[in-house]
Structure 1
Amino acid sequence: MENAKKIFNKTSFLIPAVAILLGLIVGAIAMLAGGYNPILAYSSLLEKLFSSSYNTGEAIRAITPLIFTGIAVAFAFRTGLFNIGVEGQFMMGMTGATIVGVTLDLPWFIHAPLAVLTGAVFGGLWAAIAGVLKASRGVNEVISSIMLNWIALFLSNFIVAKFLVEKGQQKSRPVHDSAMLTIDWLIELMDKARMHWGTFVALICVALFYMLLWRTKQGFELRAVGHNPDAALYAGMNVNRTMVKSMFISGVFAGLGGVFEILGVFGYQTVMAASWGYGFDGIAVALLGGNTPVGVLLGAILFGGLTYGSTGMSFGAGVPSEVVRIVIGSVIFFVASHGLVKWFLKPFLGRRASKRKEAV
């Protein structure tokens, strides 16, 4: 039994891989039930992703905001908080960047960093509201943060429509070129795909996520408070301040995702009829990645790749978007059901344990 447990630990990387495979198999069954060819569908998905440099670049662009929102959710999870308000923080990051990008006219080396910083702070402060409510009044952060999503949506729309709107349009005035963070040479290289510096910043944030939580004293305090607030309080840590700080940092990551959608992709902000959905997708990405930095990166690549490649499944194999979401949902289900995946792996791992015992 002990040997089997050790093998489970050593082969734990198999669990997400098998979970993804099982999810794809269930998706294939769903496609067969609907009269679609799963082999053609999956090949069409891969063709969509890699058939041209433009499609590959656009897939990277679709993955980038999921890295930010996935990190935001995972960071909060790791510190004992469930930040379900990443969607609102994402929108507030967009709004902060738009305000600076539209209203100010500065040299690029001041304008662009100021817009990024403002959007990040907007996202962090919006998340900190839920942290303050939890720390001071014991309000559950799930309830407060999800309600703040709606407030962020309507507040963002109000700011754009009242102060930033392009006359006769349902969008803001264009962001000044000095604030834009596109990469012109990479856009040309990727055949006009919308490439921007946010992709590189997202990768830096993955590294910062790891360094902050596991390589600093502050990270130890954040994790300690999340793991056991009473023990942390007994050890002399300021639990309430740490909760607010954790939510703020999580919101900064989410806000950066919104910043680069404005400064790197669109160059303006619309009056939104509904939320973008990146924040809620970030929950799935964090779950897929096991709330680890590298796991979030890989989860974002998988989730973003499936989402962008789904158009290839639709056009190449006639698979409707609802069936594509079944595939994604199946993958998430099996990733979340670690016990079920281990049950599938148990016979294989049991044989390995027996062979090791015989060898000894």
Structure 2
Amino acid sequence: MSTTTSPTTPASAPETPAAPRSNQIMKEILGGSAAISVLAVVLALIAGGILIILTDERVAETSGYFFSRPTDTLGAAWQAVSGAYSALFRGSVFNYATDRGFAIAIRPLLETLSFATPLIAAGLGVALAFRVGLFNIGGRGQMLIAAAAAGYIGAYVPLPPVIHLVVALVVGIIGGALWGGIVGLLKARTGAHEVIVTIMLNYIAFYLVSYLLRTPGALQAPGQNNPKSGPMLDSAHYPSLLGPQYTLDIGFILVIVATIYVWYLLNRSAMGFQFRAVGENPHAAQVAGINVKSVYVKVMLIAGALVGLAGVQQVLGNFTGGFAAGLDAGIGFDAITVALLGRSKPWGVFFAGILFGALKAGSFTMQSAEGIPVDIVLVVQSFIVLFIAAPPLVRAIFRLPTPDGSFQWRKPVIARKAEVSK
């Protein structure tokens, strides 16, 4: 009776133990878009601090004898940067240096929210278009048309108090929506590039509103020659939220509602699914039965309405009585930065708008208290855009992984082995 012996099987390699779940979670957090946005702001503040040091007179004076007493230069550099950013904090969050009570100390935070209100509204409009693959840089034109429409109702059409405010608000939003809808319609019907169309519409809106502000009987205030509208009637003003001593008004509540609406639209509605599908791949969406041309028109109507809300804020809010053609104050273009920093996500745009509102509110305190030019804040904003547009650079500086857990900044394994073998 023969016995058969089974061939020996090679010993299996020991299994590599799986990494703890907590490590994977940390990699996803550190490699995600939120971490990149936060670190981009940190890098921008560092770059701004370097510029503050380079432009500070005391630092320049002490650097002349740096090698004999280097601590003087380092101390002056620290005082320049810490003084500037502490002034930024006092002017945008909480004025801890005042002795006039909590009501005055908290005023900078409310100023920040006031500055952030139109930035959030316009940023939502730009971000929504981004999600569909459209680059809406026509915020200035949409704001001007919305402001002109709402300003005309608010200044020259007397109505009962609550009705007056609602009508002016709705007319302004419709004006912004129609101006944005022109872009979507031309994109859908003729294939015109939205960047070119929005740039041209910005110029058209600016010169149109400028003409109306110089025309008696249109927008120009009666009895004056300046290109400025008449003051808004009291019944058309946004009511203040916390009293007349603060500039924060009901417009901030409206942008919170707008943020919730955009979040619901993108994440919980069938229309939002179509928007996201077209943004990912318009050709595949067309094959799947989605009317891409209709989506372009719809999204630009909604985006124009959101940007128009920012224009309405500028004329019905607590900023000014009448308005001129420069009422947009660069908000239409700052909204692009806000949308980029917020990664085109509604709540990301909301907090990015608050950050930029803080930079704007605090820049005045920086200038008055420390003599720091306001242009430094603009440079910081520009650096934020630079780092947001280059996530691999941010990951390389902070040695962060990508969301899939890999490290783009590391050399390939073969290249590292080749260097070791040399």
When residues 230 and 175 of structure 1 are mapped into structure 2, their CA distance, relative to the original with a 3 A threshold, is same
Per-residue CA shift, 1:178-211, capped at 9, x if unaligned?
A: 221122x6134xxx22221110100111111110
Alignment of 1:118-197 (within 5 A): 118-162=171-215, 163-166=218-221, 167-168=223-224, 169-183=226-240, 186-188=242-244, 192-197=245-250
Asked whether the equivalents of residues 95 and 269 of structure 1 are also in contact (C-alpha less than 8 Å), the reply is: no
Q: Which residue of 1 aligns with 2:399?
A: 346
State the distance in 2 between where 1:14 and 1:273 align. Answer: 36
Unmatched 5+ stretches in structure 2 = 1-17, 58-79, 96-104, 407-422
Asked if 1 retains the 8 angstrom alpha-carbon contact of 2:314 and 2:328, the reply is no
In 2, the alpha carbon distance for the partners of 1:131 and 1:216 equals: 21
- Separation (CA, whole Å) in 2 of partners of 1:242 and 1:335: 28
* Count of residue pairs the alignment pairs up: 347
Residues 60-112 of structure 1, C-alpha deviation per residue, up to 9 Å, x if partnerless? 11111100111111000011111010111111111111111122221123211
Please state if 1:45 is matched with 2:88. Answer: yes
User: In structure 1, what residue type is equivalent to 2:230?
Assistant: R
Matches within 5 A, 1:152-301: 152-162=205-215, 163-166=218-221, 167-168=223-224, 169-183=226-240, 186-188=242-244, 192-266=245-319, 268-272=321-325, 275-301=328-354
1:220 CA displacement: 0.7
* Deviations 1:135-192 (CA, angstroms, capped at 9, x unpaired): 1111100000011111111111222332132221432122222221122x6134xxx2
How far off its partner does 1:332 sit?
A: 2.5
Contact 1:180 1:267 in 2 (8 A): no
Letter in 2 for 1:309: G
- Aligned letter for 2:197? S
Match of 1:357 in 2: none
Q: Displacement of 1:300 after TM fit? A: 0.7
Aligned partner letter, 2:86: S
- Aligned equivalent of 1:68: 121
Q: In structure 1, what residue type is equivalent to 2:50?
A: I
Q: 1:28 aligns with which of 34, 49, 67?
A: 49
Give the aligned residue type for 1:127.
G
- Please give the alpha-carbon distance, in whole angstroms, between the structure 1 residues aligned to 2:155 and 2:356: 32
Report if aligned partners of 2:363, 2:377 keep a CA contact under 8 Å in 1.
yes
Specify whether residues 23 and 266 from structure 1 end up closer, same or farther in structure 2 by C-alpha distance, changes over 3 A only.
closer
Stretches (4+) displaced over 6 A: 2-6
User: Do 2:150 and 2:169's aligned partners in 1 also have CA atoms closer than 8 Å?
Assistant: yes
**Partner-residue secondary structure (3-state), 1:175:** coil
Which stretch of structure 1 is more off in the superposition, 240-249 or 31-40? 31-40
Question: Which amino acid is 1:8 matched to?
Answer: K
1:307 Cα shift? 1.4
Give me the TM-score of the superposition, normalised by structure 1: 0.90
In structure 2, the residue matched to 1:356 is none
* Cα contact 2:315–2:323 (8 A) shared by 1: no
2: distance between equivalents of 1:267 and 1:348? Answer: 48
1:128/1:251 contact within 8 Å kept? yes
CA pair 276-348 structure 1, distance change in 2 beyond 3 A: closer
- Looking at structure 2, the residues matched to 46 and 6 of structure 1 have their Cα atoms a distance apart, in angstroms, of 32
> How many percent identity over aligned positions?
36
The one-letter code of the counterpart of 2:228 is K
CA contact (8 A) 1:161 1:271 kept: no
In structure 1, which of residues 2, 18, 31 is the aligned counterpart of residue 39 of structure 2?
18
More helix by share: 1
In 2 relative to 1, CA 226–15 (structure 1 residues): closer, same or farther, beyond 3 Å? Answer: closer
Alpha-carbon distance between aligned partners in 1 of 2:326 and 2:313, rounded to the nearest angstrom: 20
- RMSD of aligned Cα (Å): 2.3
SS in 2 for 1:291: coil
**Matches of 1:262 and 1:177, distance apart in 2:** 12
State the shift of 1:7 in Å.
Answer: 4.5
Distance 2:163 2:328 in 1: 30
Deviation at 1:271, TM superposition (A): 3.2
Q: Which amino acid aligns with 1:164?
A: L
Deviates more, 1:157-166 or 1:303-312: 157-166
Q: CA deviation at 1:6?
A: 6.5
Q: What is the rounded CA distance, in whole Å, between the counterparts of 2:207 and 2:183 in structure 1?
A: 18
TM-superposition CA deviations, 1:252-274 (whole Å, max 9, x none): 00001111211112454433258
What letter matches 1:18 in structure 2?
L
Taking structure 1 as reference, are residues 273 and 281 closer, same or farther at Cα in structure 2, changes over 3 Å only?
closer
The 5 Å alignment of 1:325-340 reads: 325-340=378-393
Normalised by the size of structure 2, how large is the TM-score?
A: 0.77
Q: Are 1:160 and 1:269, in contact at CA under 8 Å, matched by a contact in 2? A: no
Structure 1, 205-214 or 336-345: larger mean CA deviation: 336-345
In structure 2, the partner of 1:358 is none
Bigger shift: 206-215 or 225-234? Answer: 225-234
| CA separation of 1:312 and 1:122: change in aligned 2, threshold 3 A | same
Structure 1 residues 274-302: Cα deviation after superposition (integer angstroms, max 9, x where no partner): 85210100000011111111111111111
